[in-house]
Structures are given as C-alpha cells and as structure tokens.
C-alpha cells in the first residue's frame, strides 16, 4: 500500500520538488537493518507513538486549561476549577486528560525499557556514543517536562511536590536564593510559578521533538545495533520495510491495548499515575503527611534524599545523570552485547534491581529501614559505574559469532 502511494503521479510531482519520496525510501522503506532484531527494538517506535499522543492530547487540554491560582466563585483556584471543567463539562475532556496522564507514565515506562535494552546489548558503544548521549538528553528533557506539568492541576500533591522540589534550588551556594525566586516567581509557590511552569511545560515538548529528530538522524548515520553486538555482513542486512514495519506495528498494537486498558479502567493506576490526594485542591496551610514524586522520578529523588546534606544530595543526583552520559567511555570492553559478557550481565541485572529498589524507597515515607536500604541501593548504583572501567580486565567473554 505504501509503495503504491509513493508511485502515484502526485508523489512523483512532489518528489521532483522536495525529494520527499526519496527521503521516505532512504530512511524508512530501504533503510538497512540487521535481520535479527527482536521485539525489544520495537520500543523506539512505541516511544514515538506515545510522544505523538502526548503532544496532541496536551494541545487539546491547553485549549480549556487556565493557568491561574486565583480563586473562583466556588472557592477553588482557576487552574483546579478548569481541570474539573475539562473532566465534567468538556466533550470527551475526561478521556483526553486520562490519555495525557496515563501517557506520561507510559512514556517513561517505554523509554526506561528502551534504555535498558541499549545497555544490555551495548548500543552505547562506538560508533553510537552520540546516539546514547542524545537518548540521555531526551530522558532529562522528559523529566523536566513532567516536573513542570506536575504543578498544573494545582492539587494538593501538585502544590507541595513543587514546593519540595523547587526548594532544591535554594541549596545551591551563592545563587540559591536568587535562583529559587526566579523559578517560583516569588518567595513561595503561587500564581507566577503556575504561569512559568505552564509556559515551560508547553515549550519543552517541542525541544524534546527536536532532540528526538536528532536522535533518529544519528541512528540512521551509524545504523542499528543488534542483539549479537557485531557488525553484520551484507547477508545479515534486510530493508526496514516490510519486515520491521509489520513487527513494530504489532508491538504498537499490543502497547495500545494495554495503554487503553489503563485509560478506560484504571487511569489513576491505584495512585501511581495520579495520586489520590491530588484530586483535592491545593492548600498551602495543610501539608500532606507523605510528599513523594510520581513513580518515574522516585529513583532520582531517593538518591537525593539518601544523602543527609541537601547540597551533597543535589550533587549525588546530578552525578547519577553524569554517570549515564559517561557510560560509553566508562565501559572499555571490546565486546558489546551482554549475551557474551557474563560478569557485565550480572552487574547490569544488579544495577537494574538497585534502580527498582530506589524507586520503591523513594515512593514511600522515610523510615530508618527504608533510608538504609535506599543508601545501599544508591551505593550499588554508583558502584556499577565505578567498576565498569575495570570489568574487561578480569571478565572471560564467550566467543562471538562470525555473523548474525
């Protein structure tokens, strides 16, 4: 069907003036791809689908959302009241909001799996270092985007979550107080903060799209890695279409089924996607007993709060991101895939487990036991990167295949 569309007279007329058909053929239909890619490689395409859902649903929500913390006649803020209006009065507003809320969690779930696959198969190694850096940048921009969007409902958890997180800026020596007031637009979280965050939440997705485009273009220069982690011969290369378009469409279909189930039957995710307390309007005079971020930010938050000193906690959290950026140069093994690296594979599984433990601890109220567990998990996280440059010296790799 796609081939027929590209052979129409209109397509030929357009191609003579824009080369769009040549572009589609080069970057999609005839794009050379290793023949042994599994379904773990479908998460990149799934992430693109979720990004489209998030941008479109966000635009529709912005049409009825009012970024103002001033109270209305019913005593609620305009922001909180506009969310209620979207849910109750706007045609299909509840559906669009739940698509956006569930989509945020789905986006991070897919991206984390996408990155885990890249780490397992060594997709960060030469010549794909820049591709990996762009991927980590995409993660950071995503986290900034959801942080700005988290305040917009102006619910109880939104308000206090933003208060706690923005307090981090105040711990920076010298410029902390100035930076804190700049972010908030005043001495506390209020109407100027909401306006700033709404503008940034609307802006950052377009920055994200630019980085995603750059990420895809970098991929099409160095081409896809494969589960074996070796460069394939000509016999191991097949065109992307129709083999992987069908495979990706199947993966996207399965994802949309699971995504739709959450949208229609469990949009709050039992408090993981939308906290129960966030259905209550923001009250600056009543602090919630347990203030924690959404699940996809909890590992980084736990690293932050595991350190007793606030400034050192910020340094630790920032260093956690720096380690991800440096991974292509920390891992000095000539072998890419963890399939042939038993020690690295074990370390990687322990690393993934430490992130899960950090996420669990960060989602719960601080207790002495969870604080100790969180600190141990933080040490395991950093120990993985500290040991990475030395693994190749004592690791006995399995023999690599000659071809895929």
Say which residue the tokens 């209020």 belong to. Answer: 190
Most confident range (mean pLDDT) of 17-21, 68-72, 394-398 is: 394-398
- pLDDT tens figures, 57-69: 999 999 999 999 9
Q: What whole-number distance in Å separates Cα of residue 37 and Cα of residue 44? A: 12
Query: Across residues 389-394, what is the average pLDDT?
Result: 93
The pTM score is 0.95
Q: What whole-number distance in Å separates Cα of residue 8 and Cα of residue 10? A: 5
Instruction: Let me know: does 118 contact 124? Beta carbons within 8 Å.
Output: yes
- pLDDT tens figures, 180-228: 999 999 889 999 999 999 999 999 999 999 999 999 999 999 999 999 9
What pLDDT does residue 206 have?
Answer: 95
Query: Across residues 23-50, what is the average pLDDT?
Result: 92
Instruction: Let me know: does 103 contact 57? Beta carbons within 8 Å.
Output: yes
Q: Which residues pair with 237 in a beta bridge?
A: 34
Determine how β-strand 32-34 pairs with β-strand 237-239: antiparallel
Query: Across residues 235-250, what is the average pLDDT?
Result: 93
Q: What whole-number distance in Å separates Cα of residue 69 and Cα of residue 79? A: 6
* Domains of the chain by residue range: 292-404
Cβ burial, residue 216 (10 Å; 0-12/13-18/19+): middle
Query: Is the predicted pLDDT of residue 35 greater than 70, yes or no?
Result: yes
What pLDDT does residue 74 have?
Answer: 73
What pLDDT does residue 1 have?
Answer: 67
Query: Is the predicted pLDDT of residue 285 greater than 70, yes or no?
Result: yes
What pLDDT does residue 8 have?
Answer: 85
- pLDDT, mean over the chain: 94
Domain 292-404: top CATH class: mainly alpha
């Amino acid at each position: 069907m796609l081939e027929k569309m590209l052979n129409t007279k209109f397509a030929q007329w357009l191609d003579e003036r824009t080369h769009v058909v040549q572009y589609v053929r080069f970057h999609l239909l005839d794009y050379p791809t290793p023949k042994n890619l599994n379904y773990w490689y479908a998460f990149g395409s799934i992430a693109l689908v979720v990004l489209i859902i998030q941008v479109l649903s966000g635009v529709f929500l912005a049409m009825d959302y009012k970024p103002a913390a001033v109270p209305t006649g019913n005593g609620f803020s305009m922001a909180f009241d506009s969310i209620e209006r979207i849910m109750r009065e706007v045609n299909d507003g509840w559906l669009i909001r739940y698509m956006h809320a569930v989509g945020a969690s789905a986006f991070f779930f897919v991206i984390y799996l996408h990155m885990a696959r890249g780490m397992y198969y060594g997709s960060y190694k030469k010549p794909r270092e820049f591709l990996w850096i762009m991927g980590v940048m995409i993660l950071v921009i995503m986290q900034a985007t959801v942080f700005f969007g988290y305040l917009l409902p102006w619910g109880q958890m939104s308000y206090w979550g933003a208060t706690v997180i923005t307090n981090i800026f105040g711990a920076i020596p010298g410029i902390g107080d100035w930076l804190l007031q700049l972010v908030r637009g005043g001495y506390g979280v209020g109407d100027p903060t909401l306006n700033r965050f709404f503008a940034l939440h609307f802006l950052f997705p377009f920055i994200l799209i630019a980085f995603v485009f750059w990420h895809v273009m970098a991929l099409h220069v160095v081409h896809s890695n494969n589960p074996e982690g070796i460069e394939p011969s000509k016999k191991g290369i097949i065109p992307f279409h129709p083999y992987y378009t069908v495979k990706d469409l199947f993966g996207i279909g399965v994802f949309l089924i699971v995504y739709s189930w959450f949208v229609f039957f469990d949009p709050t995710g039992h408090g993981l996607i939308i906290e129960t307390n966030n259905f209550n309007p923001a009250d600056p005079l009543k602090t919630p007993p347990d203030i924690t971020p959404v699940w996809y930010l909890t590992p980084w938050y736990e690293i932050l709060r595991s350190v007793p000193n606030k400034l050192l906690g910020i340094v630790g959290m920032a260093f956690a991101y720096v380690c991800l950026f440096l991974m292509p140069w920390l891992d000095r093994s000539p072998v890419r895939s963890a399939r042939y690296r038993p020690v690295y594979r074990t370390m990687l599984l322990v690393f993934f487990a430490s992130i899960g433990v950090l996420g669990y601890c960060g989602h719960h109220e601080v207790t002495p036991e969870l604080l100790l567990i969180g600190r141990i998990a933080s040490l395991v996280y950093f120990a993985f990167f500290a040991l990475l440059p030395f693994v190749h010296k004592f690791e006995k790799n399995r023999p690599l295949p000659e071809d895929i």
